[in-house]
């Protein structure tokens, strides 16, 4: 079906069965640099799912470059565990690659026993918030030797290919960048000098592993950091890599400290494939594309259009390791989507915690959470077709139960529809696509427009009842808040009503801020119109920018706390706040709404004392509370049931999906 995606490719002399590569991705499943069962089972699942290449990494080449958080191959004692891992990956039919890693000035003293990180120059690193020690010529030789020695160990451990990381702002990119490399010796200054360290490192690794082992370099297609390398310079860098002996170039986006987002939902699918094409035009070795290549159609198009020779599927394979197999078998609709929420992966890593997946309760738990078969004569009734109920129904059906799913609404999805409504959040709706396909595949009987009561449950007499009634908008006790003109955020996101020009939003949590963006984006240019106007130079660039971010409403958010967005994840908060700022949304913190008159006049207790302000539309976004109507009735009737999701307490998407899964597993 996907002709290009499933055609083999040869790298050096190694045949890869398809064009799908799982890239290096830090998982933090150990804090001693060692592999363990959690890693083995995680990688077994990724290899079993059908990817052509499975890359293990980041793997540190020495202590100062990675500390204890990343895996390591800094000495021979690490080899046996990696031998076991390559046996698992290769045994499942994938090629095992390893990414060798050195953070350089991106490391931090707390990760490396209080040592000062090393880098090309002693220039403050704003990402790590530390000034590294300038590497001596001896340090340079030592690190290059560490790369070569680790590469040799990797080959001994059975890896089919080796990758060197020269992306994301780590050591090799630091040498390339005039921003971090201010040396005056042979390793700094001119292009030739700045590229010397990466070039020599590649040459040394190549020399050590011999001519036949596939060697890859992962490079930034554009650093996306002012003053650093752009996509005007990166093709020349790629040419140097090719001449130094790499067999494949893996092109990703920019540095960690870039103000251009690299990972979130806002990043359009395959947005950085153009960077791969830019490199592909400069070299003759195969090139890989990366970042947000989500569905098989997207991947196939990149390959068909000739932007790259292979695609990296990172978080996508965390969310569904079976992606390749499902695509191959024409079951794309059954792919569990990565919704690019960052909550289970990036946010976890930033907090020093192990990676999981919001949408896939098995990711990182492959060894302990097993979908074991149940008695197929038993019947399960699931009430509520939001995320928690859907996941519970699908898992119960996968276990072999006969499952019926009920919802009083006319469609499945519940709050997922609201979560997917704001700009750049549409990827969330992919979950509905997935669950719809799974209900079909697993023959789950769906009863929509059906309110479930005790009578229906007694009549159906299921063996198990799972209640996922969800939540409802919470209206805070503010004088005048029940005026009929005042809307809840849920009404705005769900019904998309016409709003006034001056809009006030009460509540600056995640829902309030997303709603603010939803409202502020009304009346702004769509991407297609922007493309048209830009192509024909119909408007000045500044005017286009204005039209992108100024629509029909002026939005003000009122938050009682000193900071808005307290419940927004670390890796996406800055993006959301920057977006709100671009859209001209005003956020007034430390400001309590004391009363609302006539549904529009707010009395505010803020830093300037008490004030009154008039708005055309007032929206309440003050959280939600559980709906427990059926659960309470079941309780009183003494009928056993399991509550899942927001019915227990309003939580995040992760709580709903994992809760639904675990409840069905426990039946």
Residues at the contact surface with ligand SF4, assessed by CB under 6 A: 315, 318-319, 338-345, 357-359
CA dist., res. 523 & res. 503, Å (int): 14
Nearer to ligand SF4, 314 or 480 (CB): 314
| Count of CB atoms situated within 10 Å of the CB of 507 | 24
Q: Is residue 292 part of the contact set for ligand FMN (CB under 6 A)?
A: yes
Q: In whole angstroms, how close is the CB of 47 to ligand SF4 at the nearest point?
A: 18
- As a dihedral over the C-alpha atoms of residue 150, residue 151, residue 157, residue 161, rounded to 10 degrees, the angle is 150
Q: In whole angstroms, how close is the CB of 174 to ligand FMN at the nearest point?
A: 15
Q: Is residue 313 part of the contact set for ligand FMN (CB under 6 A)?
A: yes
Helix, strand, coil % (nearest 5) of the chain? 35, 20, 45
Q: Provide the 3-class DSSP secondary structure of residue 393.
A: helix
Residue 349 binds which of ligand SF4, ligand FMN, none (CB < 5-8 A, kind-dependent): ligand FMN
Q: In whole angstroms, how close is the CB of 201 to ligand FMN at the nearest point?
A: 16
| CA distances, 567 to each of 388, 507, 561, 573 (Å) | 20, 12, 12, 9
Q: Is residue 665 part of the contact set for ligand FMN (CB under 6 A)?
A: no
Nearer to ligand FMN, 72 or 642 (CB): 72
| DSSP codes, 190-233 | SHHHHTHHHHHHHHHHHHHH-TTS-EEEEEES---STTS--TTT
Q: Point out the residue whose Cβ comes nearest to ligand FMN.
A: 314
DSSP 21: E
Nearer to ligand FMN, 292 or 600 (CB): 292
Q: Is residue 493 within 8 Å of residue 515, measured between CB atoms?
A: yes
Q: Is residue 71 within 8 Å of residue 93, measured between CB atoms?
A: no
Nearer to ligand SF4, 234 or 346 (CB): 346
Residue 313 binds which of ligand SF4, ligand FMN, none (CB < 5-8 A, kind-dependent): ligand FMN
Tokens of 623: 């959280």
Nearer to ligand SF4, 369 or 445 (CB): 369
Residue 386 binds which of ligand FMN, ligand SF4, none (CB < 5-8 A, kind-dependent): none
Per-residue x/- track, 359-378, ligand FMN (CB under 6 A): --------------------
C-alpha of 382 from chain center:
29
| Count of CB atoms situated within 10 Å of the CB of 667 | 17
Q: Point out the residue whose Cβ comes nearest to ligand SF4.
A: 344
Per-residue x/- track, 66-105, ligand FMN (CB under 6 A): ---------------------------------x------
CA dist., res. 515 & res. 621, Å (int): 8
**Position among 183, 315, 336, 425 found at the interface with ligand FMN (CB under 6 A):** 315
* Plot region of 617 (φ>0 → left; ψ -120 to 50 → alpha; else → beta): beta
Q: Is residue 161 part of the contact set for ligand FMN (CB under 6 A)?
A: no
Nearer to ligand SF4, 199 or 292 (CB): 292
| DSSP codes, 568-602 | S-HHHHHHHHHHHHHTT-EEE-S-EEEEEETTTEE
Q: Is residue 26 part of the contact set for ligand FMN (CB under 6 A)?
A: yes
**Position among 50, 52, 105, 314 found at the interface with ligand FMN (CB under 6 A):** 314
Q: Is residue 172 part of the contact set for ligand FMN (CB under 6 A)?
A: no
Q: Is residue 222 part of the contact set for ligand FMN (CB under 6 A)?
A: no
Q: Provide the 3-class DSSP secondary structure of residue 381.
A: strand
Phi, psi for residue 74 in degrees, rounded to 5: -80, -15
Q: In whole angstroms, how close is the CB of 54 to ligand SF4 at the nearest point?
A: 16
329-348 residues in contact with ligand FMN (CB under 6 A) are 345-346
Name the residues that contact ligand FMN, by CB under 6 A. Answer: 23-26, 57-58, 99, 165, 167, 218, 252, 263, 290-293, 312-316, 345-346, 349, 355
């Amino acid at each position: 079906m996907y002709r290009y995606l499933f055609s083999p490719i040869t790298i050096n002399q190694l045949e890869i069965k398809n064009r799908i590569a799982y890239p290096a991705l830090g998982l933090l499943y150990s804090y001693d640099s060692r592999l363990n069962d959690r890693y083995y089972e995680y990688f077994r699942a990724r290899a079993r799912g059908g990817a052509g290449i499975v890359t293990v990494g980041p793997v540190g080449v020495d202590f100062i470059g990675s500390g204890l958080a990343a895996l390591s191959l800094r000495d021979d004692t690490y080899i046996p565990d990696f031998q076991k891992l390559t046996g698992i990956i290769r045994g499942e039919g994938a090629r095992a690659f390893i990414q060798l890693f050195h953070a350089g000035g991106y490391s931090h003293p707390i990760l490396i026993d209080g040592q000062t990180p090393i880098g090309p120059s002693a220039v403050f690193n704003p990402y790590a918030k530390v000034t590294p020690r300038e590497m001596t010529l001896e340090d340079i030789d030592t690190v290059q030797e560490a790369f070569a020695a680790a590469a040799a160990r990797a080959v001994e451990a059975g890896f089919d290919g080796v990758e060197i990381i020269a992306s994301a702002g780590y050591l090799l990119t630091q040498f390339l960048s005039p921003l971090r490399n201010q040396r005056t010796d042979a390793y700094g200054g001119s292009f030739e000098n700045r590229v010397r360290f990466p070039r020599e490192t590649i040459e040394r690794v190549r020399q050590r592993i011999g001519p036949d082992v596939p060697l890859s370099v992962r490079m930034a297609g554009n650093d996306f950091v002012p003053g650093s390398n752009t996509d005007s310079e990166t093709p020349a860098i790629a040419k140097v890599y090719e001449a130094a002996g790499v067999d494949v170039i893996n092109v990703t986006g920019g540095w960690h400290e870039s103000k251009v987002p690299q990972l979130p939902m806002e990043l359009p699918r395959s947005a950085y494939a153009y960077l791969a094409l830019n490199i592909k035009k400069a070299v003759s070795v195969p090139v890989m594309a990366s970042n947000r290549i989500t569905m098989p159609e997207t991947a196939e198009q990149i390959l068909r259009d000739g932007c790259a020779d292979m695609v990296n599927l990172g978080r996508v394979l965390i969310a569904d390791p079976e992606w390749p197999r499902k695509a191959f078998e024409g079951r794309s609709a059954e792919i569990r989507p990565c919704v690019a929420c960052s909550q289970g992966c990036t946010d976890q890593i930033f907090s020093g915690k192990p990676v999981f997946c919001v949408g896939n309760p098995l990711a990182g738990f492959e060894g302990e959470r097993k979908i074991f078969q149940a008695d197929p004569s038993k019947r399960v009734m699931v009430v509520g077709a939001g995320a928690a109920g859907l996941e519970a129904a699908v898992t119960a059906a996968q276990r072999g139960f006969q499952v019926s799913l009920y919802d009083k609404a006319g469609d499945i999805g519940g709050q997922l529809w609201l979560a997917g409504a704001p700009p750049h959040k549409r990827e969330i709706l992919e979950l509905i696509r997935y669950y719809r396909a799974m209900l079909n595949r697993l023959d789950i009987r769906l009863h929509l427009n059906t309110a479930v009561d005790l009578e229906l449950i007694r009549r159906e007499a299921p063996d198990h009842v799972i209640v996922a009634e969800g939540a409802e908008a919470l209206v805070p006790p503010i004088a005048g808040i029940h005026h009929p003109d005042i809307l809840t955020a849920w009404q705005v996101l769900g019904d998309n009503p016409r709003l006034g020009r001056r809009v006030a939003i009460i509540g600056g949590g995640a829902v309030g801020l997303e709603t603010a963006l939803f409202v502020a984006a009304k009346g702004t240019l769509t991407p297609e119109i922007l493309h048209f106007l830009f192509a024909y130079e119909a408007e000045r660039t500044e005017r286009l920018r204005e039209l992108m971010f100024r629509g029909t409403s002026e939005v003000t958010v009122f938050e009682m706390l000193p900071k808005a967005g307290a419940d927004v994840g670390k890796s996406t908060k800055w993006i959301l706040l920057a977006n709100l700022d671009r859209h001209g949304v005003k956020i007034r913190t430390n400001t309590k709404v004391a009363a609302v008159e006539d549904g529009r006049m707010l009395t505010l207790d803020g830093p300037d004392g008490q004030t009154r302000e008039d708005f055309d539309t007032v929206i309440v976004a003050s959280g939600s509370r559980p709906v427990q109507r059926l659960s309470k009735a079941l309780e009183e009737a003494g009928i056993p049931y399991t509550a899942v999701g927001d019915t227990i307490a309003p939580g995040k998407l992760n709580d709903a999906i994992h809760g639904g899964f675990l409840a069905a597993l426990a039946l």
